[in-house]
């Protein structure tokens, strides 16, 4: 049974999906302190949150059961992504479910701000009839600047066009054509755009680049009487600088749905300034958006926990359900090559690993295969075996450089993954392929070409290629009751008499006496036993 913890308010539609899914158990809690969240996470395989739960490194460390965090919504700034990645926890969100509601809220805020709806309504509730005091401004004919032209920014821009506004946009990552299609005049320079607007609305994530990007210096360059709307993330507009600019009259008013600390302190200046319209982070709070994100979150978390599907991952490359089955054998092959090289590398310090994907393998998600390989490579070195989410980060943290390259040239096989590990004692390398979609084969070890099974107990012995040796080794294992299920031979140069390697797949583990006897043979130069998962065994992390 997979347990899903829910610590924020999730629409009943999502809860119903979870409750009705076989293999999923739901644990709904609310009003938990951080310490209580930490404790509840001990027994959870996954957690669904909104913006109300902060997942800090302290909460995410030491949660061996926790595999997945799903954000029912867009912003993941309340999740420490680096910590989640380090712990091997995949983070996913539901990027589109609340776009329309948040765009509509932005427009509602812009209109309400322009027509003083908030204070006018309040004054009537207090018994007054102040018609003159609340004269507003019209939106039609005004210019709005949209910073951040992603899903919500574009949706806001389209609505503003419908309101007969001139729409300017700034987003370094959107194409001219895309902006032009929607009637947006695109600027590549934020400083230039903001001097031309009557309204500025921000729709970017909060990042190191966007934190405080709308600050005193920039506000000073804007038109006097500009109005600023923030329905994205608190802190994109510097709150102190905004309050100062409102008090000085440079900014006529602001509409804020989000705050750098939520809820903002009761004595915050922005709460008390009459020119500021505030809502308590309501952008996504409609029945429709909540039902949509809850349904998506429920589907995403169950698909991951039950089938290993990765959709909308924020801290790794996603794998679509349709792609997963085709990718799984490649991840398995890469992982097994990592396991093999890690066991053959008798504790020499690894400084670098290079992966080459050839033929069909080159068309698969190479980053995931690199992670799968690295997870195998590090599995013997770390207390908890890394998975495809954290392996790359853990390797890099240990100073191991990882490189990946692809080649569409087929070589001898239609698909191949080749790995070279650089250690302080030299290089080790191996290459694998697959026959059909499931038979994984080792086709090269260092310079020895071969065709060996990559599963179960593998005994490798290096030897001089002389007649009679195979019989002699077979006799030793026969004497010690060790059954050989498969054998492959590889020669460095494909001619007799040189150095060679044999890979035996064994049904049972040889005793030390059997190993010693093989090692003692005068033509054997080295013997190693490698333990691989059985053929077809599920991947440890999917």
Ligand X SMILES: O=C(O)C(=O)COP(=O)(O)O
Binding site for ligand NAI (CB under 6 A): 73-75, 95, 98-99, 102, 147-153, 170-174, 203-205, 207, 209-210, 231-233, 257-258, 281, 283-284
For residue 120, the partner it binds in ligand X, ligand NAI, none, with Cβ less than 5 to 8 A by kind, is none
Q: Hey, what are 494's tokens?
A: 């494909």
For residue 286, the partner it binds in ligand X, ligand NAI, none, with Cβ less than 5 to 8 A by kind, is none
> Does 342 help bind ligand X (rule: CB under 6 A)?
no
Binding mask 28-57 for ligand X (x = CB under 6 A): ----------------------xxx-----
> Does 284 help bind ligand X (rule: CB under 6 A)?
yes
For residue 336, the partner it binds in ligand X, ligand NAI, none, with Cβ less than 5 to 8 A by kind, is none
The least CB distance from residue 203 to ligand X, in Å, is: 11
Residue least distant from ligand NAI (Cβ): 150
> Does 101 help bind ligand X (rule: CB under 6 A)?
no
The residue among 96 and 327 lying less far from ligand X, judged by its C-beta, is 96
Site for ligand X in 68-97 (CB under 6 A): 73-75
List 358's β-bridge partners, or say none.
407, 416
| Cβ density class 514-536: b for 16+ within 10 Å, e for less | bbebbeebeebeebeebebbeee
Q: How many residues bind ligand X (CB under 6 A)?
A: 11
Among 437, 435, 433, smallest CA distance to 326 is for: 437
The least CB distance from residue 205 to ligand NAI, in Å, is: 4
Q: Which of 2, 38, 233, 422 is catalytic?
A: 233
Name 284's Cβ contacts closer than 8 Å, sequence gap at least 6: 50, 73, 74, 98, 101, 102, 290, 293
The least CB distance from residue 173 to ligand X, in Å, is: 18
Q: Is the peptide bond before 218 cis (omega within 30 degrees of 0)?
A: no
> Does 379 help bind ligand X (rule: CB under 6 A)?
no
For residue 50, the partner it binds in ligand X, ligand NAI, none, with Cβ less than 5 to 8 A by kind, is ligand X
Q: Hey, what are 539's tokens?
A: 């991947």
The residue among 98 and 415 lying less far from ligand X, judged by its C-beta, is 98
The residue among 54 and 352 lying less far from ligand X, judged by its C-beta, is 54
Say whether 463 is catalytic: no
Q: What are the backbone angles phi and psi of residue 465, rounded to the nearest 5°? A: -80, 80
Residue least distant from ligand X (Cβ): 73
Annotate 31-86 with three-state secondary structure: CCCHHHHHHHHCCCCEEEECCCCCECHHHHCCCCCCCEEEECCCCCCCECHHHHHH
For residue 210, the partner it binds in ligand X, ligand NAI, none, with Cβ less than 5 to 8 A by kind, is ligand NAI
Residue 491 Cα to chain centre, angstroms:
43
Pairing of strands 448-453, 439-445: antiparallel
Say whether 38 is catalytic: no
> Does 285 help bind ligand X (rule: CB under 6 A)?
yes
The least CB distance from residue 299 to ligand X, in Å, is: 17
The residue among 152 and 542 lying less far from ligand NAI, judged by its C-beta, is 152
- Residue 248 backbone class (left: φ over 0; alpha: ψ -120 to 50; beta: rest): alpha
The least CB distance from residue 363 to ligand NAI, in Å, is: 27
The least CB distance from residue 152 to ligand NAI, in Å, is: 3
Name 126's Cβ contacts closer than 8 Å, sequence gap at least 6: none
3-class SS of residue 367: helix
Residue 102 Cα to chain centre, angstroms:
24
Q: How far apart are CA 330 and CA 120, in angstroms?
A: 64
> Around Cβ 480, how many Cβ atoms within 10 Å?
15
> Does 148 help bind ligand X (rule: CB under 6 A)?
no
The least CB distance from residue 88 to ligand NAI, in Å, is: 25
The residue among 2 and 50 lying less far from ligand X, judged by its C-beta, is 50
The least CB distance from residue 261 to ligand X, in Å, is: 15
Q: Which of 185, 262, 288, 528 is catalytic?
A: 262
Radius of gyration of the chain (CA): 31
| Cβ density class 352-377: b for 16+ within 10 Å, e for less | ebbbbbbbbbbebbbebbbbbbbbbb
Q: Hey, what are 190's tokens?
A: 């934020």
Sheet with 484-491, strands from edge to edge, namely 484-491, 499-506, 457-464, 524-531
The residue among 151 and 271 lying less far from ligand NAI, judged by its C-beta, is 151
Residues classed as catalytic: 233, 262, 281
User: Site residues (CB under 6 A) for ligand X?
Assistant: 50-52, 73-75, 98, 281, 283-285
């Amino acid at each position: 049974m997979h347990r899903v913890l829910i610590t924020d308010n999730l629409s009943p539609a999502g809860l119903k999906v979870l409750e009705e899914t076989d293999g999923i158990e739901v644990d709904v809690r609310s009003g938990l302190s951080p310490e209580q969240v930490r404790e509840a996470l001990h027994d959870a395989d996954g957690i669904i949150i909104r913006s109300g739960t902060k997942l800090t490194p302290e909460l995410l460390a030491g949660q061996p059961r926790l595999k997945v965090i799903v954000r029912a919504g867009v912003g993941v700034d309340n999740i420490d992504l680096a910590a989640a990645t380090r712990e091997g926890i995949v983070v996913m969100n539901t990027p589109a479910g609340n776009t329309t509601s948040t765009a509509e809220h932005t427009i509602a805020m812009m209109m309400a701000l322009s027509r003083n709806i908030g204070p006018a309504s309040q004054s009537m509730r207090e018994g007054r009839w102040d018609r003159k005091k609340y004269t507003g401004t019209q939106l039609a004919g005004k210019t709005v600047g949209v910073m951040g032209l992603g899903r919500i920014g574009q949706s806001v821009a389209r609505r503003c066009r419908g309101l007969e506004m001139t729409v300017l946009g700034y987003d370094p990552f959107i194409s001219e054509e895309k902006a032009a299609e929607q009637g947006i005049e695109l600027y590549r320079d934020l400083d230039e755009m903001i001097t031309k607007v009557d309204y500025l609305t921000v729709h970017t994530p909060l990042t190191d680049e966007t934190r405080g990007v709308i600050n005193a210096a920039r506000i000073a360059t804007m038109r006097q009487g500009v109005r600023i709307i923030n329905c994205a993330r608190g802190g994109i507009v510097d709150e102190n600088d905004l309050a100062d600019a409102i008090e000085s009259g440079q900014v006529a008013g602001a509409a804020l749905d989000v705050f750098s600390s939520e809820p903002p302190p009761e004595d915050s200046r922005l709460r008390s300034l009459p020119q500021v319209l505030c809502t308590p982070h309501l952008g996504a709070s409609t029945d429709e958006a909540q039902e949509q994100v809850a349904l998506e979150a429920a589907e995403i978390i169950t698909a991951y926990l039950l089938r290993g599907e990765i959709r909308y991952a924020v801290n790794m490359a996603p794998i679509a359900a349709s792609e997963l089955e085709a990718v799984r054998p490649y991840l398995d092959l890469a992982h097994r090559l990592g396991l093999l090289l890690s066991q053959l590398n008798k504790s020499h310090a690894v400084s670098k690993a290079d992966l080459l994907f050839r033929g069909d393998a080159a068309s698969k998600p190479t980053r995931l295969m690199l992670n799968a390989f690295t997870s195998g490579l590090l599995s013997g070195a770390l207390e908890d075996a890394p998975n495809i989410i954290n392996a790359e980060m853990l390797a890099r943290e240990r100073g191991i450089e990882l490189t990946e390259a692809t080649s569409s040239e087929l070589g001898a096989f239609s698909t191949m993954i080749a790995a070279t590990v650089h250690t302080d004692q030299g290089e080790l390398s191996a290459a694998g392929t697959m026959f059909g979609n499931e038979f994984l084969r080792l086709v090269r070890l260092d310079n020895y070409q071969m065709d060996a099974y990559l599963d179960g107990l593998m005994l490798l012995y290096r030897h001089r290629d002389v007649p009679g040796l195979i019989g002699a080794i077979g006799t030793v294992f026969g004497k010690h009751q060790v059954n050989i299920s498969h054998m492959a031979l590889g020669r460095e140069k494909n001619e007799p008499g040189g150095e060679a390697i044999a890979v035996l797949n064994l049904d049972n583990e040889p005793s030390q006496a059997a190993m010693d006897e093989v090692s003692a043979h005068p033509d054997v130069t080295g013997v190693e036993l490698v333990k691989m998962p059985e053929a077809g065994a599920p991947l440890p992390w999917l």
